[in-house]
Amino acid sequence: MSLWTDKKFSDLGLTYWITRQTEKLGLRRPTPIQVECIPRILQGQDCIGAAKTGSGKTFAFALPILQKLSEEPTANFALVLTPTHELAHQIAEQFIVAGQPMNARVCVVTGGTDYLIESQQLEKRPHIIVAMPGRLADHLTGCNTYSFAALQFLVVDEADRMLCGSFDEDLMVINRFLPAKRQNLFFSATLKDFLKTSIVFPIADDVFEWSEQSPVATVETLDQRYLLCADYDRDTVMVEALRKYKEDQEDASIMIFTNSKKDCQILSMSLNSFGFSNVCLHGFLRQRERVAALNKFKSKHVRIMIATDVASRGLDIHDVRLVVNHRLPKKPIEYIHRVGRTARAGRAGMAISILRFPRDLEALGEIEALINTKLTEYSVDDRLVQRIFMQVKVARAEAEINLDNKDFDERKHKYRRLRWIQEGLDPDEMEAKWKEDMKAREQERRERLRQENEERRKRDKQTIASPAVVNDARFQAAAGDKKFKKRKFIPTEKLNELIEQRKTEAKGGKKAHARGKGDKKIVKKKAKMAQ
């Protein structure tokens, strides 16, 4: 299916001022989801829309809402709920830009900013509120002056994630403050059956439902690759892959996804030490830090962003050429959201997933079954990988030490205590219980890891011998490669010694640099005296 249609925005029932604004924004033709959903929304129908990332879902609901708002300008006209800070701010920006001719007032409520400031913004009676459920629920239960009596539209963006159960408590609180008579709009990259049976927002029987019909869940312009590595050299292989890619695409913007906040921070620090200037984005960063990181990446001041799945959904960052999965996502569906950050709006892009052989082959099979596409191999020179292996290991070990010194886990501890206080619990008493729990869990974890390692070794042997690998030409050579069977281990003492050596060399370099500056000053002084 083509990204653009042959229709014009004026064919969809949109008024002149909106079609003129779309032209100013460079939107010449509507996308399929816009063609199907905009007329239905203007007619007053509830709507469920699903389409691939980068297909114009935000404008599919923003444009008809703005048109209806221009006909009947009232406060709290529309409420848009999203799962992340970054997506909320992006949606708000698009409402502001598209609604500029009518001076649409937009308010963002996400947390991470001063609670009082957000309250003041809500009291100014904005036309459109873009919010995260938890923070909005706090405002609604903490103050009885906000009224949504005039609300005409409720939009749930990334609905598959929002209605999966984890947000239910906050959504139920919000729903109590909303009028029963309203239009409900649900949009997502993937359509799930549970959207129709949502216990939070009952969906009308005559709801208009549209899903992009495509046998492949990712766009055609996306080149999807895998890169095999042994369990011990994932970081090394990734560094070499980045170097190789950067040789051909020096100015390309790259996003690297990790599965944990700590891994995200460590990888960011490690890559910085290799000259790959980057920013990181994860949930432990303060709101201003997250906004600053995103702005640096969007403005191309920094070309590499390392992120958790907080950045995998909805964010429209122009011209991301490469997405790297440092680890495969825990759920196959998240793969679609991650790689959707590149190859947007008809542009070309590449996604490279780093796979531990043979451990990740099962997960790869699940992803390929979901997207109905086979990934092809992206290779790097093994000799170059081995050449930098020790450097990468030392850089990562040093980053881990530096992160411990920065009390990274202390921030997690503060968030935990804050949550207990907000729930009306005694933080000291809860912490004592938590420590006892953690001690018991640690013992269980060690035993579980021991059992898992034994099972994993057996499973790895079975995977290599399985028909899926034996009959797949992509993995036949790897099955007999010794590098995937042996394990490299560097003693902690050796790593610490190399880290100290690096620090000494770095200090020596600074001193030499300082001496060089001093020598230049002396030479200049002597030259002046000679004159």
CA-to-CA separations, 299 to 84, 155, 324, in angstroms, rounded: 21, 29, 20
Residue 530 in any domain: the answer is no
527 belongs to a structural domain: no
Q: How far is CA 71 from CA 18, 68, 79, in A?
A: 12, 5, 17
Among the three residues 190, 211, 232, which one is the final residue of a domain in this structure? 211
Domain of residue 92, CATH code: 3.40.50.300
Claim to verify: residue 227 and residue 190 sit in the same structural domain:
no
Could you tell me the strand order of the sheet in which 304-307 lies? 278-281, 304-307, 253-257, 320-325, 349-356, 222-229, 376-377
Q: What is the pLDDT along the chain (531 residues), one digit of tens a residue?
A: 567 889 999 999 999 999 999 999 999 899 999 999 999 999 999 999 998 877 889 999 999 999 999 999 999 999 999 999 999 999 999 999 999 999 999 999 998 788 899 999 999 999 999 999 999 999 999 887 789 999 999 999 999 889 888 899 999 999 999 999 999 999 988 776 656 667 688 777 889 999 887 666 688 899 999 999 987 789 999 999 999 999 999 899 999 999 999 999 999 999 998 899 999 999 888 888 998 999 999 999 999 999 999 888 877 788 899 999 999 999 998 999 899 999 887 789 999 999 998 889 989 999 999 999 999 999 999 999 989 999 998 999 889 888 876 656 666 667 778 777 877 888 888 888 888 888 888 788 778 777 867 776 776 676 666 666 657 888 877 777 766 665 565 666 666 777 777 667 666 655 444 444 445 554 455 555 555
- At 3 the pLDDT is 72
Instruction: Decide if 17 is inside a domain.
Output: yes
* 101 and 200 housed in the same domain: yes
Check residue 347 and give its pLDDT.
Answer: 86
Residues 390, 294 share a domain: yes
C-alpha distances (whole Å) from 320 to each of 180, 269, 281, 316, 317 are 41, 21, 16, 9, 7
Q: Is there a single domain that holds both residue 318 and residue 465?
A: yes
* Distant-in-sequence, close-in-space partners of 404: CB < 8 Å, separation ≥ 6: none
Q: Which residues contact 289 (CB under 8 A, 6 or more apart)?
A: none
Residue 373 and residue 296 share a domain: yes
Decide if 4 is inside a domain. no
Instruction: Specify whether 104 is located in the same domain as 181.
Output: yes
Provide the H-helix boundaries in 25-84.
32-42, 57-71
Pair (281, 359) in one structural domain:
yes
Q: Which pLDDT score is estimated for 407?
A: 59
> Is the domain of 350 the same as that of 466?
yes
Query: Is 507 among the domain residues?
Result: no
Cα torsion 9, 11, 15, 21 to 10°: value is 10
Q: Do both 184 and 227 map to the same domain?
A: no
Cα separation, 39 vs 18, in Å, equals 14
pLDDT of residue 512: 47
Identify whether 390 is part of a domain.
Answer: yes
User: Which of 211, 244, 261 is a domain's end point?
Assistant: 211
Q: Residue 63 and residue 69: Cα distance in Å, rounded?
A: 10
Residue span of the structural domain in which 139 resides: 9-211
Residue with tokens 């957000």: 118
List, as one string, the DSSP characters of 325-378: ESS--SSHHHHHHHHTTSS-TT--EEEEEEEETTTTHHHHHHHHHHHT---EE-
Q: Are residues 55 and 189 in the same domain?
A: yes
Task: Tell me how far apart the alpha carbons of residues 191 and 209 are, in angstroms, rounded to a whole number.
Answer: 10
Buried b (16+ CB within 10 A) or exposed e, 156-190: bbbbbbbbeeebeebbebbeebbeeebbbbbbbbb
Co-location of 14 and 98 in the same domain: yes
223: tokens are 């080149």
Angle (nearest 5°) at CA 138 between 132 and 140: 100
Look at residue 120 in the predicted model and tell me its pLDDT. 92
Helix (H) or strand (E) run with residue 508 in it: helix 492-530
Residue 87 and residue 155 in one domain: yes
Q: Is residue 59 part of a domain?
A: yes
Given 192, 211, 230, the domain boundary residue is 211
Q: What is the pTM of this model?
A: 0.78
**Which residues does 138 contact at the CB level (< 8 Å), separation at least 6?**
111, 115
3-state secondary structure of 156: strand
- The pLDDT assigned to 523 comes to 45
How many Cβ atoms from other residues are within 10 Å of residue 499's Cβ?
16
3-state helix, strand, coil in the chain (%, to 5): 55, 15, 35
Number of domains in the chain: 2
Beta-ladder partners of 223 = 350
Tell me if 197 is assigned to some domain. yes
